[in-house]
Amino acid sequence: MNVLLIGSGGRENAMAWKIAQSSILTQLYIAPGNPGTSTHGINVDINPLDFDKVKDLVISKNIGLVVVGPEDPLVKGIHDFFSIDKALKHIPVIGPKKAGALLEGSKDFSKRFMVRHGIPTAAFQSFKESSKKEAVEFLNSLTPPYVLKADGLAAGKGVIICNTLGDAIDTLNDFFEGRFGSAGEIVVIEEYLGGIELSVFVLTDGMSYVMLPEAKDYKRIGDGDTGLNTGGMGSVSPVPFCNGAFMEKVVTRIVDPTINGLKSDGIDYLGFIFIGLMNVDGNPYVIEYNVRLGDPETQVVLPRIQSDFLELLISASKRELSGLKVVFSKQCASSVILASEGYPGSYAKGKSIGGRLESDGAVLFHAGTKYGANGELITSGGRVFSAVGLADSHEESLANAYRLANAIEFKGKYYRKDIGRDLMFSSEK
Ligand code: AMP
Ligand code: GLY
């Protein structure tokens, strides 16, 4: 089968790497891909939001399955586009239609969904500018810190946590004054949940589902979880506290009601659900839903799947997930993101990349790289690479990831030095 993978980040490099290992793959195409994906398939330089161009590619390359990496094409309706086009509607798309993508595209929608289906989450209310007075009253009723979220997609920057009521009211004004554009026209204000975060990943065919390995992401730019939020600076899998008893609660209180809720709301959902959770004293609460895999979580989740990933995707597309079990590897995986100095603020691009791009026990995934005018590899983004270590213990997998991170050279290379350190002492390996 020929497969088209949509996207160009570290997540898509990891997906391309995994799909390319499948015995049933004929040819993988990636649109637009990056230099890392080009070692696993053929990159095609088109904008995934240009659905007509995607259509031409799918037809000319006889694609049998489309796998969507990022949320943007889903929220903008790539799956809906396929389902109403005569020439495309028989070609399955892994990723929900617009109605399901709202779980990520609108925080207000996803919070209402959780409440409707009895899924544990932080108490909340949503406000438009016309009800600013009520928003301030609601803030007054909460205890600090205060959590304010833009309703719409804001590239991971739409959540602001304020320590004082004054800051929270200023932030509310910022939202209504257009700091996040139309994404902030509705503001979700919610109760602060204290605990440890982790993410679980589900692949569903709308009727049944399989669980993929869980992961923990390190979101802040600085060591010790300090500084600005980023797309993610590293990740580990498995998560030591995610034992059988905790996962049982996740499945019965969160995953089952989510899949049943989609069904009872009449939302036909084919694709991944990435559930961001807070472990509050041993009980899971949903922080957010994403309608795709995470980046850099995918870089540690996929290496821990022993089953043929493409076969799993095809089973999902045929609505045949029921009864399937995904085989997980016992290995530990850790990723360390190599970023451009200045990220998540402004940073320089075009720095030449040297050093060694491989080392034992590790896999390198590209994110923000490209080939320069003379065919040399240069930086082109904030997150440049994920160095992923694999080994029998977290300690060794981290050592392998860091050895690779050290071996790569580019001007302004920055990475966190403490990925996984918080888990080492609580770890049961
Ligand atoms: P989100 O984009 O909704 O995942 O939020 C980004 C980050 O903000 C999360 O990963 C959490 O670290 C934090 N966060 C969001 N909602 C809450 C909450 N209700 N309580 C505590 N932290 C939160
Ligand atoms: N690493 C968080 C995300 O992909 O949203």
> In terms of domains, do 337 and 416 share one?
yes
Separation of CA 99 and ligand 2 centre (Å): 21
Q: How far is the CA of 187 from the centre of ligand 1 (A)?
A: 14
- Give the Å distance between the CA of 287 and the centre of ligand 1: 6
pLDDT above 90 for 154: no
Residues 336 and 279 in one domain: no
- The number of the ligand 1 atom at minimal distance from the alpha carbon of 288 is 3
CA of 427 to the centre of ligand 2 (A): 23
Q: Is the CB of 235 under 6 A from ligand 2?
A: no
For ligand 1, atom 16, the nearest C-alpha belongs to 287
What angle is formed at CA 65 by the lines to CA 78 and CA 87, rounded to 5 degrees?
A: 65
d(CA 407, CA 195): 35
Could you tell me the residue range of the domain that residue 281 belongs to?
Answer: 196-317
**Long-range contact set of residues 52-58: C-beta below 8 Å, sequence gap at least 24:** 54/4, 54/6, 54/78, 55/81, 55/85, 55/87, 55/88, 57/4, 57/29, 57/31, 58/4, 58/88, 58/91
Q: Which two tokens stand for residue 334?
A: 């850790």
What pLDDT is recorded for position 129? Answer: 85
Considering only CA atoms, which residue is closest to atom 14 of ligand 1? 287
Burial status of residue 45 (CB atoms within 10 A of its CB: 0-12, 13-18, 19 or more): exposed
Ligand 1 atom nearest to CA at 192:
20
How high is the pLDDT of residue 130? 87
Phi, psi of 153 (to 5 degrees): -70, 130
Q: Do the domain assignments include residue 83?
A: no
Q: Are residues 224 and 303 in the same domain?
A: yes
CATH number where 210 lies:
3.30.470.20
Nearest CA to ligand 1 atom 9: 287
Q: Which among 42, 59, 76 is the end of a domain?
A: 76
Q: Is residue 259 part of a domain?
A: yes
Cα–Cα distance list, 170 to 74, 148, 182, 228, 390 (Å): 33, 11, 18, 18, 45
Say what the pLDDT of residue 429 is: 33
Nearest CA to ligand 2 atom 3: 294
- The whole-angstrom separation of Cα 33 and Cα 217 is 23
Asked if residue 202 and residue 264 are part of one domain, the reply reads: yes
The tens digit of pLDDT for each residue in 261-302 reads: 999 999 999 999 999 999 999 999 999 999 999 999 999 999
Closest CA to ligand 1's atom 18: 192
Which residue has a Cα nearest atom 8 of ligand 1? Answer: 159
Residue with CA nearest ligand 2 atom 5: 294
- Band of residue 428 on the pLDDT scale cut at 50, 70, 90: very low
Q: Which atom of ligand 2 is nearest to the CA of 297?
A: 1
**Number of domain units in the chain:** 4
Q: Are residues 140 and 242 in the same domain?
A: no
Q: Does the pLDDT value for residue 427 go beyond 60?
A: no
Residue-wise pLDDT for 21-34, tens only, equals 999 999 999 999 99
What is the Cα–Cα distance from 183 to 136, expressed in whole angstroms? 20
Residue 217, ligand 2, Cβ within 6 A: yes
pLDDT of 110 strictly over 50 = yes
- For residue range 54-80, what is the model confidence (pLDDT) as tens digits? 999 999 999 999 999 999 999 999 999
Distances (CA, A) of 267 to 65, 70, 91, 102, 223: 21, 20, 19, 10, 41
In a domain, 19, yes or no: yes
Instruction: State residue 149 phi and psi, 5-degree precision.
Output: -130, 135
Do 405 and 379 fall within a single domain? yes
Which pLDDT score, from 0 to 100, does residue 424 have? 73
Summarised one tens digit per residue, pLDDT across range 361-394 is 999 999 999 999 999 999 999 999 999 999 999 9
Residue 132 sits in a domain whose CATH number is: 3.30.1490.20
**Residue 295 CB–ligand 1 contact under 6 Å:** no
Non-local (6+) Cβ contacts of 107 within 8 A are 126, 149, 150, 151, 152, 158, 188, 288
Whether the CB-CB separation of 91 and 82 falls below 8 Å is answered with yes
Give the amino acid at 405. A
CA of residue 328 to ligand 1 center, whole Å:
28
DSSP state of 328: B
Please give the distance, rounded to the nearest whole angstrom, from the Cα atom of residue 296 to the centre of ligand 2: 7
Mean pLDDT of 314-327: 96
Q: 369 and 281, same structural domain?
A: no
Residue closest by Cα to atom 12 of ligand 1? 197
Query: CA angle, 69 as apex, 161 and 394 as ends, to 5°?
Result: 70
Backbone angles phi, psi at 370, to 5 degrees: -155, 170
Is 420 a residue whose pLDDT tops 90? Answer: yes
Q: What is the mean pLDDT of the chain?
A: 95
Highest-confidence segment of 146-155, 235-244, 382-391: 382-391
In a domain, 94, yes or no: no
| Position 351 in a domain | yes
Rounded mean pLDDT, 88-106:
96
- Return the structure tokens found at 51: 């659905």
Query: For residue 310, is it within any domain?
Result: yes
Give residue 178's pLDDT band: very low, low, confident or very high (50, 70, 90): confident
142 lines ligand 1 (CB under 6 A): no
Is residue 28 assigned to a domain?
yes
Distance, CA 159 to ligand 1 centroid (Å)? 7
**How far from 307 is each of 6, 277, 327, CA to CA, in Å?**
22, 25, 5
What CATH number does residue 381 fall under?
3.90.600.10
Ligand of minimum distance to the alpha carbon of 295: 2
Q: Give percent above pLDDT 70 in the chain.
A: 98
Over residues 333-341, mean pLDDT: 98
Last residue of a domain, one of 42, 76, 110: 76
* Same domain as 300, residue 248: yes
Backbone angles phi, psi at 263, to 5 degrees: -60, -50
Boundary residue ending a domain (191, 213, 228): 191
Q: In terms of residues, how long is the chain?
A: 429
Beta-ladder partners of 377: 371
282 and 207 housed in the same domain: yes
Atom of ligand 1 nearest to the CA of 124: 19
User: 282 in a domain, yes or no?
Assistant: yes
CATH classification at residue 69: 3.40.50.20
pLDDT given at position 170: 93
Q: Is 104 in the pocket of ligand 2 (CB under 6 A)?
A: no
Asked if residue 186 and residue 208 are part of one domain, the reply reads no
Q: Are residues 205 and 256 in the same domain?
A: yes
Do 230 and 309 fall into the same domain? yes
| DSSP 8-state code for residue 420 | T
Residue 425: the pLDDT is 52
